[in-house]
A = this chain, B = another copy of it.
Amino acid sequence: MASSIKQIIFLGDGIGDRPVPALGGKTPLEHQATPALDLVASGGESGLMYPIRPGLPAGSDTAHMAILGYDPATTYTGRGPFEARGVGLEVRPGDLAFRCNFATMTDGLITDRRAGRIKSGTDELAAALNEAFAGGIDGVQVIVKESVEHRAAMVLRGEGLSMHITDADPHEAGIPPGEVTPTPGHEGDPEALRTSRIVNEFVERNQAILAAAPVNQERVAQGLGPANVLLPRGVGTGPHLAPFAEQWGLRGALIVEVDLVRGLGLYLGMDVVTVEGATGGSDTDEIALAKAAVAALADHDFILCNIKAPDLGGHDSLPDAKCAAIAKVDRAVGYLLDTLDWNHHVMMIGGDHCTPITSGDHTGDGVPVAFYGHGVRPDYVTSYGERPCATGSLGRILGADVMYLLGNYAGTVHKFGA
């Protein structure tokens, strides 16, 4: 739907938090000076957003799905397909896709699930696996592709595959790879049994292939742990998701640092922008991200930008790191405030979920959000944070409400009725 108003969702990944004793009982958002975010809140309309439902901790993938208007409860199959698309693999109907880790095995036990966060050579390891498995397993094609560090993705392509199987990754060190079996409720399912056998054979056979690769022989010679097993997990089939342009009538771009969310964007047919200096770490160039957002707005109706750093501070339970990451988000939003004409833009600032310092993982707490710009009806809130936003006019919203609210301000949501 044509509109001259451009729409922006600007997220700090995992930005919401809980009171932190080391910050005097304040949350990182309450402790860190955030002049730009406060300007958005005081000039805008605030609330708390539950990405899926109150109290349910959301993943980055399911949270972004919900915020972009796709119901994860009915469409999410697993992280695998997004990971695979994020690294450039095609996922066709019927395919199975997995997230994988290159790991180190010693005497049959996983001794390092990340193979020392191996920095290079995984492209050669993936190529060796693709060559060795070129004949497939039991008629099923095997395609591996490396990602950053120890990360990789895999696609299995063939008839009669089942996603109802467990992970080969045991999720902890000191034990062998998990034996893949059908999940509860699918124990007798012939397709799940056969798929389990195929993945188990893949894990069994990939060890010798990887051990023989020059990359690993060099690592051993240097005293480093070899990446001598590839462990699949997070299986899913390609989900049925309407293209973003079809769902919302908007030309959309994603400026994000996480492969998982990039994969979602590719699935939705959105333009996924790569930004030089966007590292996905605490050293990311937030102004480069903000400039890329502004540039993308030139030829898109809608952009979603996500800075990953706040989530890292939460997962690592480091208050200072999280506050510093929030300062980066604030500077990026400040750049947008200074640069864009707010008579022709509307923005929601917020996060995809909370990653509190004190829990070190995602929680189901409400995420503070604020809408700003064209059409927005400001409320009494004067600063951005968990407690102030809870007093805002929006009250409690769900992730599923975001595209409607934003499109409402932009005038792109069609009237229902006469």
By a beta-carbon cutoff of 8 Å, the part of chain A in contact with chain B is: 18-19, 27, 48, 52-63, 65, 72, 76, 78-79, 99, 234, 260, 356, 358-359, 361-366, 375-380, 386-387, 390-397, 401, 403-408, 411, 413-418
**In the bound complex, do residue B62 and residue A234 qualify as a contact, i.e. CB atoms below 8 Å apart?**
no
Shortest beta-carbon distance from A3 to chain B in Å? 11
**In the bound complex, do residue A417 and residue B76 qualify as a contact, i.e. CB atoms below 8 Å apart?**
yes
Shortest beta-carbon distance from A84 to chain B in Å? 13
Q: Tell me the number of copies of this protein.
A: 2
**In the bound complex, do residue A393 and residue B387 qualify as a contact, i.e. CB atoms below 8 Å apart?**
yes
Shortest beta-carbon distance from A7 to chain B in Å? 12
**In the bound complex, do residue B58 and residue A417 qualify as a contact, i.e. CB atoms below 8 Å apart?**
yes
**In the bound complex, do residue A415 and residue B19 qualify as a contact, i.e. CB atoms below 8 Å apart?**
no
Which residue of B is nearest A354, CB measured?
A: B377
Contacts known (A375-B359, A408-B57, A413-B57); A48 close to B393, Cβ less than 8 A: yes
**In the bound complex, do residue A48 and residue B415 qualify as a contact, i.e. CB atoms below 8 Å apart?**
no
Residues of B within 8 A of A418 (CB): 59-62, 78-79, 99, 234, 260
Residues of B within 8 A of A361 (CB): 415
How many angstroms between the C-alpha atoms of A32 and B239 in the bound complex?
A: 52
Residues of B within 8 A of A395 (CB): 48, 390, 395-396
Which residue of B is nearest A52, CB measured?
A: B416
Shortest beta-carbon distance from A241 to chain B in Å? 14
Beyond A365-B408, A394-B396, A396-B397, 18 additional contacts (C-beta under 8 Å) are A52-B416, A53-B401, A53-B404, A56-B416, A57-B414, A58-B416, A58-B417, A59-B415, A62-B416, A62-B417, A99-B418, A260-B418, A362-B415, A363-B375, A364-B404, A364-B413, A366-B393, A395-B395
Shortest beta-carbon distance from A401 to chain B in Å? 4
**In the bound complex, do residue A57 and residue B416 qualify as a contact, i.e. CB atoms below 8 Å apart?**
yes
**In the bound complex, do residue B359 and residue A61 qualify as a contact, i.e. CB atoms below 8 Å apart?**
no
**In the bound complex, do residue A393 and residue B393 qualify as a contact, i.e. CB atoms below 8 Å apart?**
no
Shortest beta-carbon distance from A364 to chain B in Å? 4
Residues of B within 8 A of A375 (CB): 18, 356, 358-359, 363
8 A-B residue pairs with Cβ-Cβ distance under 8 Å, sorted by A, are A18-B377, A56-B413, A57-B414, A59-B418, A60-B418, A62-B416, A72-B417, A364-B405
How many angstroms between the C-alpha atoms of A56 and B61 in the bound complex?
A: 25
How many angstroms between the C-alpha atoms of A413 and B54 in the bound complex?
A: 11
Residues of B within 8 A of A414 (CB): 57
Shortest beta-carbon distance from A75 to chain B in Å? 12
Shortest beta-carbon distance from A48 to chain B in Å? 7
Residues of B within 8 A of A363 (CB): 375, 408
Which residue of B is nearest A393, CB measured?
A: B390
How many angstroms between the C-alpha atoms of A352 and B82 in the bound complex?
A: 42
